[in-house]
Structure formats: structure tokens, C-alpha cells
Amino acid sequence: MLSLITRIHDLRLAFPSESVVEIHRAVSIMALPGAPRVIEGTVDVRGIVLPVIDLAERLGLAPRPVISADEHLVVLRAGGRTVAVRVEEAESLEDVDARAVREGEPILAAARTVAGVARLGDGTVTVHDPAAFLGQAEREALERALDDAGA
């Protein structure tokens, strides 16, 4: 399975390539009042307003400081909606052998977005399911916040 390998904090994350729409340099993220805590805000990508999912929040990691020009926004298809996620680095496209993906190790089991863990030649990577980034209540709250904002 072809996957985009990214980095956030010291973790390497993989997103299936069929979920990846595009990658952009990070830009300012506008606040979205009323959005769930896991939503960092929104960005405008060629006239389309996209919610930005805060992966640090979703994965229980330390909050990240203000956006750096070195960071990237990965635009993903996530369960019927297009979203962006902020990553520190978009490293490469790698062919991750589906047979090499193991279910989440105990420390990762609580992260509902983790589809598994794969060992690559240069270390391990957690494979994430973008469709699992938002729960039903979060999706509904996001839709209300976007409607209220006129986005």
C-alpha cells in the first residue's frame, strides 16, 4: 500500500496515498468558533474552506506552538469530508507492505485513528485511518460551526 510518510513531534505517521489529496506549505489557520477541540481552525485552499484537524490533540501529544514556515498541511479525504492536518514534515511516499502492518501496539491501542504499525527499512511508522479522525459528535459539531461561520 503506497503511503505518505509524515512526522509530528518525534512520531512518524503514514497516511494511505488514496486518502491524500495534496500537500501545501503551512499557512495561517483561522479560528473556528464552536468547533470541537480537535479542530485547530480552517484554511482556504483555492477558495475552499477546509477544517484543520489538530493531530497533536487527537493523539494526546503536547500542544504545538505557532505554525512554522517549515511545516506542511496535508489535505486528506477523511470519511466523506476533505480536511487538512498540520505536520512538521512530509517525508516521502513509501510502499508499505500490507503484510508488514500489525495492529496497534498496546500504547497505541487507545488512539482510534491508528490502523496499525509497520516496520520500514529506516524504522517504524504508525499507519493512520483519516476516516477515524473525527467521531460522530465531533463531525456534527464541526458541521454546525462551519455553517455558523458561513464556510
Q: Are 67 and 56 in contact (CB under 8 A)?
A: no
Query: What local confidence, expressed as pLDDT, does residue 100 receive?
Result: 64
Mean pLDDT of 103-122: 65
pLDDT at 104 over 60: no
Q: What is the pLDDT of residue 110?
A: 44
- Which contiguous run of DSSP H or E holds residue 60? none
Its pTM stands at 0.87
Distance CA 33, CA 107 (A): 32
Grid cell 473556528 — which residue?
A: 32
- pLDDT tens for each residue of 16-43: 999 999 999 999 999 999 999 999 999 9
